[in-house]
Each structure stands twice: as structure tokens, then as C-alpha cells.
Amino acid sequence: MPKARQTPAEQLAQGLVALGIELAPAAQQTLLAYAALLDKWNRAFNLTALRDPEKAVSHHLLDSLAILPHLLGATLLDVGSGGGLPGIPLAIARPGLAVTLLDSNSKKTAFLRQAAIELGLANVSVHCGRIEDFRPAQPFAAIVSRAFAELADFVRPTRALLAPDGGWLAMKGLIPHEEIARLPEGVVVSSVTPLAVPGVDGERHLLLLKDTGATRPEGV
């Protein structure tokens, strides 16, 4: 007899256990509501390349939450947030974390604002624009990206946005040795953590990058 297919709620609950993350039932429901909202908007706005709703829990929610134990400080900037990954799942899981979602695509940021309203995420703010033009009131303890293809292109334009004791969190598949070799002077890899994400095949790694201050921009 074929094994019964898991519901999204069951998939999420079991995935959180596998990741060693405890979340209240209300937070889990909000995560599932976000996944449903993302699927609904994705049909018209092309928010993410993933089109299979059955993979939303593993490839969107759990993949984002896998870095939860590695967050730094109380402020997070999600660069090139797109459909809100990983920023929105992290904001749902940590209501005390101030999350800023930045994307230059106005359709995507329209979705992000609507999602924050519908899901009641008071700790989420959204900025539409280029990274180079972003002037926040305070630098961020952590800057994360799941979308950038090249580490150097992630680090250079955001260097002035990182707090002196903060760090970049780069979500990657295989360890990108060639990209690491091309990092700007003064930016170092502090740690490389393999991530085992339930339901996601292939290697996943989280790179923590630090700025030694060797070539930090003037006035920062």
C-alpha cells in the first residue's frame, strides 16, 4: 500500500524537528499562510523560479529556516529578497528580529508589503530600490542573500551597510572556492557550515563572511 502523502503542515512540523527548531503552532500556521500567498502571487508576478507547490515547504520554508540558529544580532537585511526568501520565514520565526527586505523590482516589493500586512509582520520593513542607493538609519548586524550568484557582487555594494561587528550570511549549494578567492581585500570567510535541509537534495552550505576593516569605505 502506497505511503500517504504528507500534508504541508505535517511536512513543516517534521522538518522543524529534523532541523532542531521549535516554533509555536501559530508561527507554523503563519509560515504555511505565507507559502500559500507566495504560490498565489507567483502565478502572476514571477516571484520565484519554483513552480511546484509541493516543494514550497522544503525548498522555501525549511531552506530559509535552516540558517535560523546562525543569525547575528537583532537586525537583518535580506538583499535581493524577491519573494521574501529567506527574510519572511526568519521574521515569522523570530518576532524580535527586525528584518528589512530589499529588492529593486517594484512588483516583488509590492508583494512583500502585502505579505507583511496580511501576515501581521510588524517586524518587517520593505525597501524598493538598488542596493547602492539604500541609506538606512543604522547599519545591520547581519546581511543575508539566497539569490546572489557571486560572493563579491554580494559583498561589495553592501559593505557600507554592515555593522562593524556584523557579518554576511551567504546561502550556497556547493562551497564556492573560486568565488571565495575573488572576495574583496579585507573580507574573510569566518565559517562554512553544511546545512541538511529536509526534502532538499544536493549540498547546501552557509558561509559567514566578516569584514576585517582593511579597506572599509571612508566614514563607515
User: 72-123 pLDDT, tens per residue?
Assistant: 999 999 999 999 999 999 999 999 999 999 999 999 999 999 999 999 999 9
How many C-beta neighbours within 10 Å does residue 88 have?
29
Amino acid 52: pLDDT: 66
Please say whether the structural domain 8-211 has been given the CATH code 3.40.50.1360. Answer: no
Distances (CA, A) of 115 to 5, 74, 142, 191: 28, 21, 22, 33
Contact 87, 78 (CB under 8 A): yes
What mean pLDDT value characterizes the chain? 91
Q: What are the extents of the domains in the chain?
A: 8-211
131 is in an annotated binding site: yes
pLDDT band (50, 70, 90) for residue 218: very low
146 is in an annotated binding site: yes
85 is in an annotated binding site: yes
98 strand-pairing partners: 75
